[in-house]
Structure 1
C-alpha cells in the first residue's frame, strides 16, 4: 500500500491523525543510512529556506483591502481589526502573513487559536474572529473521520473546530488536511542533507580513506594490514614519525573527483527542491547550467512568477479571508500590484498613455506618487510653457442614412 493510501486510511478509521510532523513520518518509507527529514530539519537546506523565504516575503508584502460591490462597482470599505493586527498588539498583519505562508508552504497547513470574536455574526451563527493567535505547526494534532475534522489537539489541549483557524493548501479530495511538500520532497531533501553530512565526514577524514599505505614488495594478508595500519595511525595521531623500509609507500588520495560529484549532487537537489516548492530555480540562484531565460524587464519576470507560481496561493488566501473574516457581501483582495512595480521610465510611459486615452485623470496619476492635485497656478505654468490647453473634441455621432 502506498504512503498516501495508508495516510488516508488512517483518517477514515476515526483515529488521531497527528501533527504535520507525524504526517511526514507516515508518508514515506524510511531507508537506512539516510538523514531523516522533518519540517524543521529541512530548513537546514539553503534551497528550502530560500524558496520558503521568497514566497513568504512576497505574500506578507501585499497590501490587504476589503471591498463590496455597489451598483456593480467595486468600492473599498474599512478593514476589520483582524485584518490590521490579527495577533493583537504583539503581531501585525505583515508578520502574521509571513508566518502563516511559511507554514502553508512547508507543511500544507497553518493553525491558530481564535481568542477573540467581533460583534459581527458570521455564516455559522458565531461572531467573526477578532484575534487569531498562531501556534507552532508541530504542536497540532487533529482527530476526524472521513473528510471531517472533529477535534484539534494543540499542546495537549482539545479545541472544537470553530475555535481554531485552519488554512490549508496542496489538498486532495476526501482528505481535510493539506499535504506537506516537505514530505513528498523528502527523498530529494534527504539526498542533499546526506550529501552535506558526507562532505563534513569526508573533509574530517571519517567517511572515506584520506590516504593509502601500499606494500610494493609483497601481498599482505588482513592481519598484517591491520598491524601496519595501527602502527601507522599510532605514529601519525601522536604527531610522531612513521619509519619503514623500502617496501612501503604512502600516498594521499586525491578528492577532486568526489568533490565535483558532491557539488553536482547539491545543485541537482536544489533544482528538484525548487520545483517542489513552486519557485523557479533562477530566483533562488540555482538555475541549471546551460539554461538561459531572458526577460525584457524585471516587470515581465515578476509577472510570470505571479501568474504561474504565487497567484494561485494568493487566490486561495483571498477566498479563505473572504469566507471567514468579513461579513455579508464584502470580500478581501490582496493587492499584487506591489510586486509588479515598473522601472521609472516604463511607469511614466504607461501613466502618460492612460491620461492620453482618458482612463486616468492627471489628479489620479499624481495621487499614485502621493502628490496633491495640481493647482490653478501650476496649470498656468504648464500653459505658459506648452501653450494653452485645448478643449477636448466632443465625439461625433453618425446619423443613419445621412450622406457624407
Structure 2
C-alpha cells in the first residue's frame, strides 16, 4: 500500500532542501541594558555615562567618526571614481538624513549606539523604491526575531505615551539598516555594558566610595565609647547630636564630649586603601574595553608607551580603533542602502585626521605633487582654497630619470657644453661630388 507524506513533512523537507534554518522562531534578542554586577551596582547606559572614562571614550569615538567626511562614489570604467551626486542615496546619506539631523549628528548617534549597546538600528523611509530618509531607532526599544523562513524581523516597542493597548510595530528586514558591533552569532552585536558589567560595576562602586569619602570631610569613621550602658532614649539623643558634626559641610566643628565619652578615630587614608590606584586601573580597564588609548581620554600615566608625535598617535588611533568601525559602517551602507551594487560605494575620508598636523599635511602634499599623482588644484581643494590657473597640470621632479637614459643624458650634456665653449666646430653644409648637399662637422 502506497504511503502519502503529510503536508508538514513535505514542507519541512522543502525548507531543509532550501537550506533555511528550522525551529528558529524562538530566537530573539532584546537590548535592555540593565544588569546587576557582583559589586551590587546596577549597570545601565545612563549610569555608565556618569563615569568620566565611559563618557570620554564614547564621545571620542562618536565625535571623531562624525567629523570624517562620508561620500558616495561611482566607479568609472577607467578605474577612477567620481561623486555620485545624482544617486538618491547621496542626498539622504551625505546631506540630510532626516528632518531633524545633520549628517554629523546622525553618525554621532549611530556610533554612540554601537559603543553602548553594540547595535545601531536605522529605519529606512521610502516612497516606492526611492529612499527619502534614515531614522535612527533606540536599541533598547528594538527586539530582533528570527522568523520561520529564516528572515529577521524587528519589533519596535517605543511607547512614549505609555499606552498599554499599543502593540509593538513590526519592521521588515528590508526596511531596517542594522549595523552590528562585535558579536558571535552574526545576527546581533554583543552589548558592552552587559558583557563588561563587572568592569563598569566596579568603577561605579569606586566612584561611589570616593564620593562618600569626600562627603564625610575626607576622614574615616570612628567610634565613641562610654563608661556606662546607655538607655534607648540616650542613644537616640546621641545619634541626633552626632549628625551635627558629620559630613564635609561640618568640617572644623568642635564636638563636646561629656559623661565619660571618648572618641576613637580610625586612621585610613586613600593611599592606604589603594583607592587612587584602583580608580586609575578602572580607567585603563574601560579604555581597554573600548580599545581607546588612555592618553586620548586624559589618562597620561602610560603616555610614554605610545607614539611621541601627534601624527603617530593619530595613526595608531585610526588603524587600531577607528578603522574597524569605519569598515563596518561602510559595508553595511553597501549592503542595506546600495543593495551591493558594485558600481557605487561609500567611503569615509580619513585624511581629515591629518588636518591637525600641519607638518604631516605639508609632507603628504609635497610627496603627492613631486610624484605626479596630485595636482596643485587637487591640494587646494583639500585645503578649501579656490583653484588657480594652470593648477590642473601634473608635474614630477626632473632628476627622476630612468637608469637606461643616464649615460645618454650625460653625453648630451657634455656635447652641448663643449659646443658652447667653442671646442667643437658647428655643422656646415658641404657639396657632395654628385651635386647633393651634405652636413659635415
TM-score under structure 2 length normalisation: 0.70
Q: Displacement of 1:53 after TM fit?
A: 0.4
The structure number with the bigger radius of gyration is 2
Give matches, 1:5-404, under 5 Å: 14-15=25-26, 17-21=28-32, 25=35, 30=36, 34-79=40-85, 80-117=90-127, 127=129, 129-144=131-146, 148-155=151-158, 156-173=168-185, 175-204=186-215, 210-214=221-225, 230-237=236-243, 242-245=256-259, 247-257=260-270, 261-287=274-300, 289=301, 292-326=304-338, 328=341, 329-341=343-355, 343-375=357-389, 398=404
**Distance change in 2, residues 1:349/1:313 (3 Å):** closer
CA distance in 2, matches of 1:98, 1:254: 47
Which range moved further: 314-323 or 129-138? 129-138
Q: Displacement of 1:363 after TM fit?
A: 3.4
Q: Displacement of 1:299 after TM fit?
A: 1.2
CA distance in 2, matches of 1:235, 1:45: 35
Q: Is the 8 A contact 2:39 2:202 kept in 1?
A: no
CA distance in 2, matches of 1:15, 1:364: 55
Q: Is the 8 A contact 2:53 2:283 kept in 1?
A: yes
**Distance change in 2, residues 1:253/1:87 (3 Å):** same
Q: Is the 8 A contact 2:61 2:322 kept in 1?
A: yes
**Distance change in 2, residues 1:193/1:346 (3 Å):** closer
CA distance in 1, matches of 2:286, 2:122: 28
Q: Is the 8 A contact 2:113 2:139 kept in 1?
A: yes
Q: Displacement of 1:180 after TM fit?
A: 0.8
CA distance in 1, matches of 2:145, 2:214: 47
CA distance in 2, matches of 1:86, 1:178: 27
Aligned residue pair count: 359
Q: Which has the higher contact order (CA 8 A, sep 6+)?
A: 1
RMSD: 3.8
Q: Displacement of 1:39 after TM fit?
A: 2.2
**Distance change in 2, residues 1:14/1:129 (3 Å):** same
Q: Displacement of 1:244 after TM fit?
A: 2.6
Q: Displacement of 1:133 after TM fit?
A: 1.3
Q: Displacement of 1:224 after TM fit?
A: 5.1
**Secondary structure of 1:256's partner?**
coil
CA distance in 1, matches of 2:323, 2:284: 21
**Distance change in 2, residues 1:342/1:17 (3 Å):** same
**Distance change in 2, residues 1:14/1:259 (3 Å):** farther
CA distance in 2, matches of 1:112, 1:374: 42
Q: Displacement of 1:395 after TM fit?
A: 5.7
Ranges in structure 1 where 5+ consecutive residues have no aligned partner: 1-10, 120-126, 379-388
**Secondary structure of 1:21's partner?**
coil
Q: Is the 8 A contact 1:21 1:39 kept in 2?
A: no
TM-score under structure 1 length normalisation: 0.76
